[in-house]
Structure 1
Amino acid sequence: MRHYEIVVMVHPDQSEQVPAMIERYKNMIQTDGGKVHRLEDWGRRQLAYPIAKAHKAHYVLMNVECSDKALAELENAFRFNDAVIRKLVVRKDDAVTAQSPLFKNPEDEKPKGEYRARNEAPASDEAADASAEAAGA
């Protein structure tokens, strides 16, 4: 079995159906004896240019290990699913399990106010240090 990295872009109007689609694709891979090493739902993202009159798309990344038969079945499912506007399948040498840099984990996100408070506090200390140096010179 070979390792593949698959990125699927789903039309934004069909975003609610993405979890069911992911489950269906995982079952296709696993029924043939394959494994899903990494699965990331990147959510809606802005497109660089409009595709099928859509300016955004729902992205899904999968790193899988499967047979050629399962991959052909998966690509066929992508082709006949109207919600899938683009797909990319790349063969990899090894299984990739590390989290991708584009994946945003909800637990890692900080509240917006915390960022502002954290960045404003050192600025006031620097201003106080600068005024103290000016007074001392």
Structure 2
Amino acid sequence: MNHYELTLILNPDLASKFDPYKEHFESVLSQLGFNIHYCENVGIRELAYTIGINKKGHYLIYQLNGDPANINELETKIKYDNSVIRHLILKTDTVTESDSFLTQDTKEAKKRAEERAHEAKLKAQVQQQPKPTPSETKVDESSSEEKKDESPSGEEESSTTEETTSEKTESENEEQA
């Protein structure tokens, strides 16, 4: 018994009849002696190039375990199935039940799209905030001028320290004279 990965690209018009087709195809696989370990429905994706008249395809990935003698018969059944646009059967060392790269790319793309939508929403909220009127701007300017006149506490302390030092020096000079 060998492990296989079967990738099918199905006609996207099959979307309404997808579940019955999947059940039928899985029964064909079991009749041929293949055990299905994992089935991943990737969904409809755009093809790199048109195949026939199709620009999109419905991807379906199976992880199988079966007899190598039945692979040719499986190839023949897939080849004459009008719903299958393309297929690929790979012999693998082990059965992997993790998501394929196609699904991971889709999840990452959805995540990036959600982030972009969130950023756009935040930008829209910032743009919708009311702009200050000229009277509000004058009030803000006057309050900022008051803040400029007030010096930070550290500078005030140093100036008072300088004044005390200069007073002491003057009193010392008077005593010496």
* Fold similarity call, TM over 0.5: yes
2:129 aligned residue? none
1:57 aligned residue? 57
1:6 aligned residue? 6
Q: Which runs of 4+ in 1 moved over 6 A?
A: none
Asked if the contact 1:11/1:84 (under 8 Å) is kept, the reply is yes
Structure with the higher helix share, 1 or 2? 2
2:118 aligned residue? 116
User: Following the alignment from structure 1 to structure 2, what is the Cα–Cα distance between the partners of residues 98 and 51?
Assistant: 28
User: Following the alignment from structure 1 to structure 2, what is the Cα–Cα distance between the partners of residues 2 and 113?
Assistant: 43
- Give the partner amino acid of 2:82: D
Unaligned 5+ residue runs, structure 2?
127-177
TM-score normalised to structure 1 length: 0.70
User: Following the alignment from structure 2 to structure 1, what is the Cα–Cα distance between the partners of residues 78 and 27?
Assistant: 14
- Give the partner amino acid of 2:71: L
Deviation of the 1:6 alpha carbon: 0.7
Percent identical: 25
User: Following the alignment from structure 1 to structure 2, what is the Cα–Cα distance between the partners of residues 5 and 75?
Assistant: 13
Unaligned 5+ residue runs, structure 1?
125-137
Structure with the higher strand share, 1 or 2? 1
Asked if the contact 1:9/1:86 (under 8 Å) is kept, the reply is yes
Aligned length: 120
Deviation of the 1:66 alpha carbon: 1.2
2:35 aligned residue? 35
TM-score normalised to structure 2 length: 0.56
Q: Which has the larger radius of gyration?
A: 2
Q: Quickly say closer, same or farther: Cα 1:37–1:112, change in 2 above 3 A.
A: same
RMSD value, Cα: 3.1
